[in-house]
């Protein structure tokens, strides 16, 4: 009899009873692997008492969910979560272990990969089968190419690139089964000391009907004036931008659009000098008309855009503004 294939496991996350969206993307990655490498997909949900969240996850996905008790105070920290997951994994070694690229997922994946003696691949955007092997793809060459890697270990730990896999769940025919795994408390190496509200307020961006977003292509801080003047053409417009500009301090963090910033869905989104990294696209995909101004016609944002303007923004925007202003004067 052929031995059963080692399962494809997903480590999901929840906070205050809500499943984190990155967990669904990790499930989609697991399903994609399953289509190439048939094996059961099962979800592990660690937490202080994750049984209610596990039932919700089983209902949303139709998958078998193992609620893994993390002993100790809530919220649990990554070190005790790793110990609790390891107690399960030591007897249930997976072929693939998928976890979100969240703070928790990126903290837990390396120590679990080390204990499992597994290869660890982050930023996965695709998988494909070649010659009996599963290859993991991640972006290379300024996001213009996908670089495929083959793991040489029986277990592989994967973090999908945020935004690269769907986070919506199809409706399952029936809920999956839920089981409960618990073990003794181990030595805690870090403790939670509570929460403070974050200073960021994404309200203005989220409410805007028009968003003009600036990216690295603005070149110089002073060129943001062009972005502000462009936004000023519309009454309910807001200026946002890519993480690159927010990290540099040219825009504030509550102007960041994307996975780790605001999610916007304006009627018009004007991307100025933005390449269209998956983490940025994750925050603006719900926009209506998308206009991209970029010198590179092969930039990923061009595939998202309804109107592509292949031009230097510092040349295009001033000319556009002068034409609009001349038009206004004529209309008076
Ligand atoms: C965990 C994680 C979370 C992240 N979260 C976010 C997030 O929330 N939001 C986000 O935006 N990013 C996020 N990032 C970063 C993301 O991966 C990209 O690095 C970032 O979005 C790139 O910003 P950019 O498009 O401004 O810059 P670049 O990638 O450098 O692109 C600049 C673009 O400008 C064009 N250009 C250059 N000169 C001109 C010109 N004169 N006129 C017109 N076009 C020009 C270029 O052709 C290029 O396409 C995250 C990354 C990680 C790992």
Condensed to tens digits (0 to 9), the pLDDT of residues 12-38 reads: 999 877 898 889 999 999 999 999 999
The model's confidence at residue 142, banded by pLDDT at 50, 70 and 90, is low
Query: What pLDDT is recorded for position 147?
Result: 93
Spatial CB neighbours of 272, under 8 Å, sequence gap ≥ 6: 212, 213, 214, 215, 217, 218, 226, 227, 230, 293, 313, 317
Residue 2 pLDDT greater than 70, yes or no: no
- Assess whether pLDDT exceeds 70 at residue 223: yes
Ligand 1 atom closest to 143 (CA): 29
Residue 247: band (very low, low, confident or very high) from pLDDT cuts 50, 70, 90: very high
For residue 210, the CA-to-ligand 1 centroid distance in Å is: 20
The preferred substitution site among 138, 248, 270, 275 for testing ligand 1, maximizing ligand atoms within 8 Å of CB, is 275
List, chain by chain if needed, residues with CB within 6 Å of any ligand 1 atom: 101, 162, 215-217, 219, 242-244, 256-261, 273-275, 277, 279-280, 283, 293-296, 299, 312-314
Can you list the domains of the chain with their CATH numbers?
A: 8-181 (3.40.50.620), 203-331 (3.40.50.1220)
Q: How far apart are CA 118 and CA 152, in angstroms?
A: 9
Averaged over 217-230, what is the pLDDT? 96
Instruction: Specify the pLDDT at position 143.
Output: 60
- Rounded Cα–Cα distance for residues 57 and 114 (Å): 28
pLDDT score recorded for residue 237: 92
Nearest residue (CA) to ligand 1, atom 7: 258
> What mean pLDDT value characterizes the chain?
91
Beta bridge partners of 189: none
List the one residue out of 265, 306, 299, 302 whose CA is nearest residue 282: 265
Q: Which among 53, 88, 94 is positioned nearest to 68, based on CA atoms? A: 88
Pick from 172, 163, 173, 185: nearest CA to 284? 163
Looking at residue 326, its pLDDT comes to 84
């Amino acid at each position: 009899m052929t031995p059963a294939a080692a399962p494809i496991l997903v480590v999901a996350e929840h906070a205050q009873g809500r499943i984190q969206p990155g967990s669904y993307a990790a499930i989609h990655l697991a399903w994609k692997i399953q289509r190439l490498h048939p094996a059961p997909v099962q979800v592990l949900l660690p937490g202080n008492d994750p049984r209610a969240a596990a039932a919700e996850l089983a209902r949303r996905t139709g998958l078998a969910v193992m609620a893994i008790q993390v002993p100790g105070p809530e919220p649990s920290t990554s070190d005790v979560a790793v110990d609790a997951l390891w107690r399960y994994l030591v007897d249930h070694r997976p072929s693939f272990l998928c976890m979100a690229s969240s703070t928790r997922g990126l903290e837990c994946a390396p120590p679990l990969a080390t204990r499992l003696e597994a290869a660890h691949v982050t930023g996965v955007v695709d998988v494909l089968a070649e010659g009996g092997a599963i290859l993991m793809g991640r972006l290379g060459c300024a996001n213009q190419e996908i670089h495929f890697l083959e793991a040489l270990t029986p277990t592989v730990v994967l973090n999908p690139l945020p935004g690269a896999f769907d986070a919506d769940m199809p409706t399952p025919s029936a809920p999956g089964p839920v089981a409960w795994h618990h073990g003794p408390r181990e030595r805690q190496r870090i403790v939670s000391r509570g929460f403070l509200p974050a200073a960021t307020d994404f309200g203005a961006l989220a409410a805007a009907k028009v968003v003009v977003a600036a990216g690295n292509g603005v070149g110089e801080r002073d060129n943001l004036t062009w972005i502000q003047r462009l936004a000023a053409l519309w009454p309910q417009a807001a200026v946002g931008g890519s993480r690159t500009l927010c990290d540099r301090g040219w825009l504030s963090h509550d102007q960041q659009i994307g996975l780790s910033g605001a999610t916007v869905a304006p009627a018009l989104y004007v991307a100025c000098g933005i390449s269209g990294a998956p983490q940025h696209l994750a925050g603006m995909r719900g926009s209506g008309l998308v206009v991209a101004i970029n010198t590179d016609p092969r930039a990923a944002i061009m595939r998202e855009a309804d109107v592509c303007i292949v031009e230097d923004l510092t040349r295009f925007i001033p000319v556009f503004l002068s034409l609009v202003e001349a038009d206004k004067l004529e209309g008076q």
